[in-house]
Amino acid sequence: MNRTTDILKIKSVEQIPTLEQIGAIPRERKLKLVFERGVQNQRERIGQNLKNQLLDFQIGIHTIEPEINIAKLITDKEIEDNQDFFEQCAKDYRQLGEELIYKLVDKLELKLNKEFPLETFNQLIREDRGKGKIENWKYYVHGFHCGFDNVETGQYIEVPLVFGQEFGDLDPYFFSKYIKSTIKYKPLPIEIYEDYADGLKINEKMISLGKFEKISSNVGNHYGTVVSDRQKVEIKSYLDLEKMYNEQNKQNEKPKFNFWKFIGLKK
């Protein structure tokens, strides 16, 4: 469902809607404040004030155009009322991600590093095999993920590669895109308009409800969100990986292993 945008031209500060008026905007509508020349210099101050006051809204202060875009985010009550739906989506995401990763591993005859899958998939990029197709899915390796896009249904999922064999990390943006692209969920019981911002609120509320939980990754200071009701797997930290690789290298008389250099974050 697309949102309708209401445009309001602002010639003076007095024309800016009150917090109560903005708060009454339904989620299916957006408000765009277009500042005319006489008040353009106050746009950033006004936008920042709205951000501080309207915590349940996304306030976009345009960096070039003289405008502020205002959109109401999904509410805590809407998430709580639909918690069973979001929990099932998270379980489905995890199952599909795992299935696709292992299908790709089998097709390409990869030797998967189960402790650190990113090592295996980085090798695909170096071999110019980071993009391709498996069954009805196009795949492409990038960053800490392998993306899969179904050419028939349009379903889209990004599978994380830095949580060991845990393939259910729910990046807010990717989780929203997955839900919105999955045919069996339509019509959605609740609309998601702002993929990242709504997705972030969903994750945070589901964590507070005990349905989701935070996990650490193979990479320092990088964390994920997964469904709580799952078969848990061990995820080694980068310090654990460094220790493991260094013990192996010592036995084989190889140089000391540097994890950050290994994943391309340090030269």
Mean pLDDT of the residues in the chain: 93
Q: What confidence score (pLDDT) does residue 5 get?
A: 96
Instruction: Collect all residues with Cβ–Cβ distance below 8 Å to 58 and sequence separation of at least 6.
Output: 69, 70, 71, 72, 73, 194, 197
Give dist(CA 200, CA 205) in Å, integer. Answer: 9
Q: What confidence score (pLDDT) does residue 243 get?
A: 83
Q: What confidence score (pLDDT) does residue 1 get?
A: 66
CA–CA distances in Å: residue 114 to residues 55, 121, 148, 154: 41, 11, 20, 29
Confidence at 106, pLDDT banded by 50, 70, 90: very high
pLDDT digits (tens, 9 = 90+) for 225-265: 999 999 999 999 988 888 877 776 666 665 555 665 555 54
What one-character DSSP code corresponds to residue 15?
G
Residues 249 and 255 sit within 8 Å (Cβ to Cβ): yes
Give dist(CA 223, CA 228) in Å, integer. Answer: 15
Give dist(CA 85, CA 79) in Å, integer. Answer: 9
Overall average pLDDT of the 116-142 stretch: 94
Q: What confidence score (pLDDT) does residue 246 get?
A: 74
Please, what is the Cα angle at 126 between 123 and 131, to 5 degrees?
A: 85
Overall average pLDDT of the 166-192 stretch: 98
pLDDT digits (tens, 9 = 90+) for 72-102: 999 999 999 999 999 999 999 999 999 999 9
CA–CA distances in Å: residue 210 to residues 142, 145, 206, 223, 229: 31, 26, 6, 17, 9
Overall average pLDDT of the 27-43 stretch: 96
SS3 183: helix
Q: What confidence score (pLDDT) does residue 220 get?
A: 85
* pTM (two decimals): 0.89
Give dist(CA 248, CA 236) in Å, integer. Answer: 16
